[in-house]
Structure 1
Amino acid sequence: MQRGVTGTFTSSIAGGIACQAFIPNALPPIPPLLFDDKLQARLNEALLALGRLDAIATLLPDTQLFLYGYVRKEAVMSSQIEGTQSSLSDLLLYEMEGLPGVPMDDVQEVSCYVQALSLGVERIRQGHPITFRLISEVHQALMTSGRGIQRSPGEFRKNQVWIGGHRADEATFVPPPANELNACWSALEKFINDDPTPTAAVIKAALAHVQFETIHPFMDGNGRLGRLLIPLIMVEAGVLKEPLLYLSVFFKQYRQTYYELLQQVRTHGDWEAWLLFFVDAITATATQAVATAQALQRLLAEDKARLAPLGRIAGSATQILDALFAKPVSNIIALQAATSLTPATIGKVLDALENLGIVREVTGQKRNRIFAYSGYLTILNQETP
C-alpha cells in the first residue's frame, strides 16, 4: 500500500551543511497493514519455517553446540555488511588466541557482536523488557573494543548524521536530529512492548527493525544492533526458545533490495513490500538453519564411523571429535580441558584425524598448533539461504 511519506521533515545541520532530516511517524502504520492473500500466504510459510526452526532446540542432542557456531556465523555476516573483512575462521582463531588473517579491529568487532547477542538474550531471560536500558547495555557490549570504543558506546548520538553521499544535502537519507531521538525511541519502545495494543512477533520484528534503522540512534553500530533486535524480539515473545534466527546472510545477499525497501517505507509508506521481503528472509533463513543443523549432525555421525580403523585410539578420537563439534577450532590445551586426555594422546589423535582429512592444522607452526574441524566449517560457511 502506498501511504505516502511516513514521517515529517525538519531543517537540520550536518557537517556544516543545511539539510532536511526525517522524523518517522510512530508505529503501527496508519492506515493499518493490508494483509492480502499473497502476503498472508508468505507470512504463513514464514511461521511454519519458524516452527521447524524452534523444533531444532528440542531435536538436537545439545542445542548449545549448534548455537556456538551458528551465532558466530551470524556475527561474521552482520559485521561484513558494515565492511569488516573477518571470516568465521578468523573469529574462531582469535578466540583461541591465534592470529587472524585480517586486521585485529575487524575480528574484535565480530567478537563483540557475539558478546552483545549473548548479553541481550541473558537479560531477556532474566525478565528485562526491551527498553533503552537493555538496548544501551547491548550497544555497550557491541562497542567495547575495535573501532567502536571511541563512538560513545551506550549513548544516543549528540549530533546530526547522514547516510550515503559525501555531503548531508546530497545524502540518501538523513535520520532524525539528535534532539528528537528520545521522543522517537520512546515511541518505538512502546510499540515493542505492546503499548497500547499487542502486535504479533514477526510483524513487530519487521516493523521495529525498519524503525530502528530509520531513527539511527547511535553514532555507530546501528546496523548490527538493528539486526540483533530481530532475534531478541523473537526470544522475548517466545516464538523461539533459542536465538536461532539470523537474517544477515539474506540481507547481505540482497543488500540493494534491502536498502531500497527501507527507503521505500519512508518515502512511500509501502510497509507491505517490506513485509514480503522480511517474511521471505525468515522462510529462507530458518529453512537453511534447519538444513545446516541436520547436515552437521550427519557429518559427526559419518566422521565417527570413519574412526574404527584407528584401533586403540579410536575411543579417544571419538572424544576429540565430540570436543571439536562443540568448538570447531581448538588446540591441545583446550582439548585436554574438554576430554581429560593426555597431551600426548591428543597429539596422536589429531595427527590421525589430519591423515583422515577430518581436521587440518591452521597455523603451520610446530608449537602451539591450532586445529580446525574442516567439514564443520565448510557446512557453516555456506552462505546461500
Structure 2
Amino acid sequence: MHRGLTGTYTPSIAGGHTCQAFIPHPLPPAPALVFDDRLQARLNDALLALGRLDAITSLQPDARLFLYSYVRKEAVMSSQIEGTQSSLSDLLLYEMDAQPGVPIDDVQEVSSYVHALDHGLARLRDGLPLSRRLLCEVHQALMTAGRGIQRSPGEFRRNQVWIGGHRADEAHFVPPPPDRLDDCFAALERFLNDVDGPTAPVIKAALAHVQFETIHPFMDGNGRLGRLLIPLVLVEAGVLQEPLLYLSVFFKRHRQTYYDLLQQVRTHGDWEAWLRFFADAIAATATQAVRTAQQLTALHARDKARLATIGRLSGSALQVLDALYARPISSIAALTRATGLTPATVGKAVDALETQFGIVRELTGHRRNRIYAYSAYIALLNQDTDD
C-alpha cells in the first residue's frame, strides 16, 4: 500500500552543505497496515518457522552449545555488512587469545557484537524494558573496542550525518538532525513498549527495525544495533526463549532489495512490501537455523560413533570431541581445562582425531602452541554464508 511520504523534511546542514533531513512520523503507520492474503500467508510461514526454531531450546540437549556458535556466526555476518573482514574462525581464535588472520580492529568489532548482545539480554532479563537507556548501554558495549571506540559509544550523535553520496546534498538519505533525535526516539520507545496499544511481536520487530535505521541515532554502529534490536524484541515478547534468530545473512544476500525497501517505506509508505520481505527473511533464516542445528547434532553423533571403535583411548577421545563441539577451535591447553584430562592424554586423543579420523585440522603449522579446528562443524556453520 502506498501511503505517500511517511515523515517530513526539514532543512539541515552537514559538512558545510545544505540538505533536507527526514523526520519520520511515529509508529504505527497511518493509515493502518493492510494484511491481505499474500502478506498474511508470509507472516504465517514466518511464525511457523519461529515456533520450530524456538523448539530447539527445549528439544535439543545441546541448544546452549549451538547458541554459543550461532551467535558468533551472526556477529561475523552483521559486521561483514559494515565492511569488516573477520571470519568465524578469526573470532574464535581471538577469543582464545590466538592471532586472527585479519586486522585486530576487525575481529575486536565482531567480538564486541557478541558482548553487546549478551549485555542486552541480561538487562532485559533483569527487568529493564526496551528503551533508550537499554539501547544506549548495548551501543556502548558494541563500540568499546576496535574503530568504534572513537565514535561516542552509548551517546546520541551531536552532528548531522548522511547516508550515501560524497556530500550531504547528494546523499541517498539524510536522517533527522541531532536536535530532533530525542523526540523521534521517545516515540519509538513508546511504540516498543505498547504505550498507545499492543502490536504483534513480529510486526513490532519489523517496524521498529526500519524506524531505528531511519532515526539513525548514533554516529556509528546503527546498522549492527538495528539488527540486534530484532532478536531483543522477540526475546522480550517471549516469542523466542533464546536469541536464535539473526537476519544478517539474509539481509546481506539481498542487500540492495533491503536498502530499496527501507527507502520505499520512507518515500511511499509501502510498509506491506517491507513486511513481506521481513517475513520471508524470518522464514528462510529460522528454517536454515533449525537445519543447521540438526546437522550439527547429527555430525556430533556420527563422530562419536566413529570414536567408539578405537579401544582404550575411546573415552578420552569422546571427552575431547565433546569439548570441541562446545568450542570448535581450541588448543591442547584449553581442551585440558575443559575435559580435566592430562595434557598427554589430550594430545593422544587429538592426534587420533586428526590422523586417524580427519575430524580435526591443525591451523598454525607450528610445533608448539598448536590450535585445532573441528573442521566439519565450522563448515556447517559457514555453509549459507558464501554468497
TM bin, normalised by shorter chain, reads over 0.9
Aligned with 1:344: secondary structure?
A: helix
Residue matched to 2:364 = 363
Residue matched to 1:156 = 156
For 1:254-307, what per-residue CA distance to the aligned partner results, in whole angstroms no more than 9, with x for missing partners?
Answer: 000000000000000000000000000000000000000000000000011111
Residue matched to 1:34 = 34
d(CA) in 2 for partners of 1:363, 1:217: 42
Structure 1 runs of 4+ with >6 Å offset: none
Residue matched to 2:331 = 331
State yes or no: 1:204 paired with 2:204. Answer: yes
d(CA) in 2 for partners of 1:363, 1:349: 18
Residue matched to 2:378 = 377
For 1:110-154, what per-residue CA distance to the aligned partner results, in whole angstroms no more than 9, with x for missing partners?
Answer: 000000001111111111101111101100000000000000000
State yes or no: 1:288 paired with 2:302. Answer: no
Aligned with 1:112: secondary structure?
A: helix
Residue matched to 2:121 = 121
Deviation at 1:344, TM superposition (A): 0.4
Residue matched to 1:255 = 255
d(CA) in 2 for partners of 1:105, 1:3: 43
Deviation at 1:88, TM superposition (A): 0.3
Residue matched to 1:227 = 227
Aligned with 1:179: secondary structure?
A: helix
Aligned with 1:13: secondary structure?
A: strand
* Structure 2 letter corresponding to 1:97: D
d(CA) in 2 for partners of 1:64, 1:309: 28
* Structure 1 letter corresponding to 2:329: V
TM-score with structure 2 setting the length:
0.99
Residue matched to 2:343 = 343
Query: Any residues of structure 2 matched to 1:243-282 within 5 Å, and which?
Result: 243-282=243-282
Deviation at 1:366, TM superposition (A): 1.0
Deviation at 1:63, TM superposition (A): 1.6
Query: Any residues of structure 2 matched to 1:70-81 within 5 Å, and which?
Result: 70-81=70-81
* Structure 2 letter corresponding to 1:247: L
* Structure 2 letter corresponding to 1:334: A
Aligned with 2:153: secondary structure?
A: coil
Residue matched to 1:46 = 46
* Structure 2 letter corresponding to 1:363: T
Identity rate, percent: 75
Deviation at 1:68, TM superposition (A): 0.5
d(CA) in 1 for partners of 2:384, 2:165: 29
Residue matched to 1:13 = 13
Aligned with 2:174: secondary structure?
A: coil
* Structure 2 letter corresponding to 1:365: H
State yes or no: 1:137 paired with 2:137. Answer: yes
d(CA) in 1 for partners of 2:56, 2:309: 32
Residue matched to 1:192 = 192
Aligned with 2:20: secondary structure?
A: strand
* Structure 1 letter corresponding to 2:189: E
What is the root-mean-square deviation in Å for CA atoms of aligned residues? 0.8
Aligned with 2:166: secondary structure?
A: coil
* Structure 2 letter corresponding to 1:367: R
d(CA) in 2 for partners of 1:224, 1:383: 20
Deviation at 1:194, TM superposition (A): 0.3
d(CA) in 2 for partners of 1:357, 1:171: 52
Equivalent pairs counted in the alignment come to 385
d(CA) in 2 for partners of 1:129, 1:219: 23
d(CA) in 2 for partners of 1:246, 1:90: 20
Deviation at 1:364, TM superposition (A): 1.2
Residue matched to 1:22 = 22
Deviation at 1:308, TM superposition (A): 2.7
d(CA) in 1 for partners of 2:56, 2:228: 20
d(CA) in 2 for partners of 1:364, 1:266: 53
Deviation at 1:309, TM superposition (A): 3.3
